[in-house]
A and B are shown apart, each in its own frame.
Chain A
Amino acid sequence: MKIIDITNSEYPKQLLKIKNPPNKLYVEGNEKLLNNISIAIVGSRNCSEYGVEQAKRFSKIIASNNITVISGLAIGIDTVAHETAKQYNGNTIAVLGSGLKKIFPEENKKLFKDILESNGCIISEYDPNEDVNMENFPKRNRIISGISTGVLVIEAAFRSGSTITAKYGFEQDKKVFCIPRDIGVSNGVGSNNLIKKGAILVTNPEEILNELNIKYETNNIKLESKEIIEQNEEYRKVEVEIEKEYEDIDKLISYTPQNIQQISIKSGLEISDINQKLTILELKGLIKSLPGNNYVRV
């Protein structure tokens, strides 16, 4: 572990510009990342399936364009952002609201290790043995927004931690991006309010890159994503060709979650048949089961 003082040349330059920068940072891992161009991806702990999908999509493009993904090691969107960045060999920084030896939440201890192993970085302004204190979490959000070039909010409830990060972002003159959400969904109230206040509405990760004037190789990304789609389609075709009998159920399941009762009514098949086919399709990786007997296409 390293301690970087505010006078140290390695201290993140971006952080010097904010109103109340921490006097010292405790750093674990690759401290060089701190001065990289970066995007903070923050969002609800209690996120929806949609939020997870979008966090993956954005984090992937951002990380694979050599932009560091910053987040808070919380569960939900934060975890997805860190994990996806790691997965695509990108850089990621986690900013903790507690000491580096007091990892919170417990279940992300493994993620903590994984980030360090993948040459990422974890920082905190608190003494390594400082206990977990909920009051400190909103305060650390100023560091998340402070060291990053822009802030992306995915799914924020009304008056949540993510909206606090966005608020700091506005104060610190950062670009704040936001993904819209349906009216009436509690996870969207905060996000939609941010858009009203002037956050930039984004629907594609490329828009963030454009906004920050980051050059990216259009072909590269497009090609890659195209390839994956093609691969997926091919994969699906092969599977479906083998198992003709599963076609009827497979067709019924779309990208919006469907309840087993809907599937049963629509297909008109015996329930034992449906149960068995759903298992096989899930094992083949074509569909995924969600809480409450819902199924969705992968």
Chain B
Amino acid sequence: MLSIVKSMSLMGLEGYLVEIQVDVSSGIPCWDIVGLPDISVKEAKERVRTAIKNSGYDMQSRKIVINLAPADVKKEGSFFDLPIAIGILVCNREINEMIIQDTVFIGELSLDGKLNKVNGVLPMCIEAKNLGIKKVILPIENAYEASVVDGIKIIGAMNLEEVVRYLNSEIDITETKINLSELFNDQNAYQLDFSEVKGQEHIKRALEIAAAGGHNCLLIGTPGSGKTMMARRIPSILPDLTFEEALEITKIHSVAGKIDKDISLITNRPFRAPHHTISSVSLIGGGRIPKPGEISLAHHGVLFLDELPEFNKNTLEVLRGPLEDKTVTISRLNASLTYPCNFMFVASMNPCPCGFFGSSDKQCTCTPQAISRYIGKISGPLLDRIDIQIEVTAVKYQKLESGKQSESSMNIKNRVNKARKIQQNRYKAESIFSNSQLTPKLTEKYCKLNQECKSLLELAFDKLGLSARAYSRILKVARTIADLEEKENIEQKHLAEAIQYRSLDKKYWKN
């Protein structure tokens, strides 16, 4: 007898429907799975057989042929276990054929019949809903994640027996539902806050500007000066996530298998801080069948590279394209996939190999050549994509005690939100969203300078020895500062402040 069970699979970030066609007939007992399965799918045979047996159903000795349609696309993963088992049980007349129409099954089986968590459930359910499927049955650990999709019934089951009894109407499993607005109210629970950082007002200011304009930034400072601590707090001042953005983030994390079982939607901006031994493949994504890398996991959030010069040079260079395009296309033999990667790039580094150049506590032991060589490890084109460079110095203990109360992230975020709104309104016609995305042509259009500003900038280039590539960076940052003050035009003071954020252009680095 033949049965057809619906399931889903993944192509990059998108799900697609897979029909599991199971035929059980008399003949020499054997199993065959066709439809370009890879090893993990082929192994389903043993898991399914044992799970059915251990769930108390009769596994008859028959000839079983399984086809995964469409048969010309390679399939991998263990989420076909459940639909295959259901298909066999339908053929064995344990389940009524009619009841499984309009239902999608996703899940991996253990030998004892338990349903295990699988990756990528969210994009599958989104696609299922678009195809008009009414019901999805999946492992209970994936239920919360899938329940974000509105208009489709999500049933989370513990084990195979439960699924069969549910289908036969012997038991009832309540549909998993969540309240989206409640989720979003919860998102302010980001644990880290700028109010915990004492002093360092100039760094906070620089990061506020960076967040407001979406500028990439580089923190240069001595060990223990608080670079990492500050960077970790950047997500707390970034503008609130919209539902669409949250869904996109969750999709990527779902495919990568990075979602906890009690989380349905990622409502905080991600903060990814890979170690400097990371390979270029795990940074931008890849693998035989491409998986999203760190830059995609940081989509709509922050990618923080600590100790930038320690990263492999080739690894850093692969960032150049994605930083401009905001997407990354990975081509492999099996597939060519595009993942989004619109992140804010934050990096930190020491000013010199010993780390104490410019420190008042400890003498730097590096020669000027060693310092320029160290700075030179970061290629010019990469530095070109970083608008704000700022030096961080350690705060002494006594100073931590005194001084005024530090501002909370909430206050900073309000200002950032306002500045972002202004930018979005201004760039409506240009299909960009923030000052950091201004092209040279648009910079000319939106960052007009009056005579006073022009002469200041000329003086700055002359006196401070700024490099030519600093020009448009300064203009963009000045534009953001003006937006933070809700000013129509860039004024001299905005420009003067923007010049402060070009630390690496200062003369003392160029020995």
**Residue positions of A touching B, CB distance < 8 A:** 45-46, 75-76, 105, 107, 185-187, 257, 259-261, 264-265, 271-272, 274-280, 282-283, 285, 289-294
Contacts and interface: CB of A to CB of B under 8 A. Distances in A.
Contacts of B511: 75, 107
A276 B366 CA distance: 31
Contacts of B366: 46
Q: Which of B199, B359, B402, B508 has the most CB of A within 10 A?
A: B508
Given A46-B365, A276-B493, A283-B464, 6 more contacts: A105-B369, A276-B496, A283-B460, A291-B351, A291-B391, A292-B358
A290 B360 CA distance: 11
A7 to B, nearest CB: 40
Contacts of A282: 463-464
Contact of A276 (B199, B368, B497): B497
B201 interface: yes
Nearest to B366: A46
Nearest to A259: B393
Contacts of A261: 199-202, 393, 395, 399
Contact of B496 (A46, A279, A291): A279
Contact of B205 (A187, A271, A279, A293): A271
Given A186-B363, A260-B202, A291-B351, A272 B508 contact: no
A186 B366 CA distance: 13
A274 B500 CA distance: 10
Interface string B442-471: 000000000000001001100110000000
B357 interface: yes
B393 A293 contact: yes
B360 A259 contact: yes
B399 A293 contact: no
B92 to A, nearest CB: 73
28 contacts: A46-B367, A75-B369, A75-B511, A105-B369, A260-B393, A261-B399, A264-B202, A271-B205, A272-B497, A275-B500, A276-B500, A277-B496, A278-B500, A279-B496, A279-B497, A279-B500, A280-B496, A282-B463, A283-B464, A289-B506, A290-B508, A291-B351, A291-B391, A291-B508, A292-B221, A292-B358, A292-B393, A294-B358
Contacts of B200: 261
Given A259-B360, A290-B358, A75 B368 contact: yes
Interface string B176-211: 000000000000000000000001111011000000
A277 B496 CA distance: 7
A77 to B, nearest CB: 12
Contacts of A185: 363
B212 interface: no
B435 interface: no
B479 to A, nearest CB: 15
B56 interface: no
A291 B366 CA distance: 13
Contacts of A280: 456, 496
A292 B497 contact: no
A108 to B, nearest CB: 11
B207 to A, nearest CB: 12
Interface in B337-396: 351, 357-360, 363-369, 391, 393, 395
A185 B369 CA distance: 22
Contacts of B393: 259-261, 292-294
A265 B367 CA distance: 33
| Chain A to chain B: the 4 pairs with minimum beta-carbon distance, closest first | A292-B358, A291-B358, A276-B496, A279-B496
Contacts of A294: 358, 360, 393
Nearest to A279: B496
A257 B357 CA distance: 14
A275 B360 contact: no
A272 B481 contact: yes
Contacts of A265: 399, 402-403
Interface string B127-143: 00000000000000000
Residue of B363, B365, B456 ringed by the most chain A CB atoms within 10 A: B363
Contacts of B459: 283
A283 B455 CA distance: 11
B499 interface: yes
B371 to A, nearest CB: 9
A279 B499 contact: yes
A199 to B, nearest CB: 23
B360 to A, nearest CB: 7
B205 A275 contact: yes
Contacts of B494: 276
Residue in A277, A285, A292 with the greatest tally of chain B CB atoms within 10 Å = A292
Contact of A264 (B201, B460, B464): B201
B463 A292 contact: no
Contacts of A264: 201-202
Contacts of B268: none
Given A261-B393, A264-B202, A275 B358 contact: no
B44 to A, nearest CB: 61
Contacts of A275: 202, 205, 496-497, 500
Nearest to B199: A261
A283 B495 CA distance: 12
B360 A283 contact: no
B351 A292 contact: yes
A293 B460 contact: no
Given A260-B202, A275-B205, A292 B360 contact: yes
A276 B200 CA distance: 17
B251 to A, nearest CB: 39
- Among A185, A276, A290, which residue has the most Cβ atoms of chain B within 10 A? A276
A290 to B, nearest CB: 7
A185 B361 CA distance: 11
B202 A279 contact: no
A255 B402 CA distance: 25
B78 interface: no
